[in-house]
Each structure stands twice: as structure tokens, then as C-alpha cells.
Amino acid sequence: MLGVLEPYRGGDDIPLRKPEMVVGRSEKNDVVLRFADVSGKHCRLVLSRGYWYAEDLGSTNGTRVNGFRTQDHRVDPDSRVSFGKHEFILRYDPVKNGAQGEIPPDYLDNDVFQKSLLERAGVAKQVKSMPKTWEIQRQRGATLEELESGEGVDYSNLTIDDIEFD
């Protein structure tokens, strides 16, 4: 076993048996939490360099590490991790999980400039759709695949009115 999620307010422990596990409400997840405030695919727990990381998967109610909402953050041994309002203590031993040398970075991806501070904090607005822009691009002959991938699509004339936010 690579660690355990221990419910903060009591309940059955959840063993972490794989180095990558998805937490959410859907039965397809590795860890199933049947609560309305937990998203279908809420969070990905990843073991890297002996330490667990919590990566939010665009959940509605967020993932928190020690009370702070995050998109991606290292969860140190015996730290609190929350999925929506459901809080757990993540218990594990980094050395038993292969940790060597210095404690790894706070974030799973090493390029801290890849995401904005708002994205890292989990408070950036998520783009829901761009119907006006897509309509214009479709009139210019763009295929649906090009629109979804962003390839060959010119967003240079995009205005805030063209975007819907969650």
C-alpha cells in the first residue's frame, strides 16, 4: 500500500494502492465518493518522487490541500486533502514510496510559468464555450475538429463578449 486516505471526521480508511488514482463520484473512478458536492471526476492523486500530489480535474467545488484551494499541489504526509466538503488526512511514508534527497517541488509540473497564479490557486474562470468565434470560423470553412483542437483557428479578434464563463 502506497498510502491511505483517512476520513477526518471518522469512517473507513481508503487505501491508495496505485501510483495514480482518480477520485470522484463516478463508479469508474479508483476512489468513489458518493456525495453531491464531489464531481464525477474530481481529482487525480499522483505519486511522484515518493510524494503524493493532488491535481484538481476541473471540479465544481474544488480540491483543497490544508484548507487552500489548489489545481495542483504536493500533499505532504499527514496533511489534509479535501474533495468538495469532504476532508481526509493523507497518511504515507515518502521513504517507503521511494523518496530520496530533497523534498520535491510543491507542484507536479516543474514549469511554474505554465499556469497563471489564479489557475494554480483554483480560482481562474474556466472558458465554457466560444460560440460566436466558432460561428465566424465555421463561416470561413474551419472544421469542427480544427475548432476543438484550436489548430488553424485565428482567435486574434476575440473579445470578452465572445466567451461564456462558468
The pLDDT value given to residue 108:
82
pLDDT digits (tens, 9 = 90+) for 13-31: 999 999 999 999 999 999 9
The pLDDT value given to residue 127:
47
The pLDDT value given to residue 164:
56
**DSSP conformation letters of 88-114:** EEEE--TTTTT--SSPPPSSSSS-TTS
* Cβ(35)–Cβ(24) below 8 Å: no
The pLDDT value given to residue 77:
98
- pLDDT lower than 50: segments of the chain: 127-131, 166
163, with CB counted inside 10 A (0-12, 13-18, 19+), is: middle
Q: Residue length, the chain?
A: 166
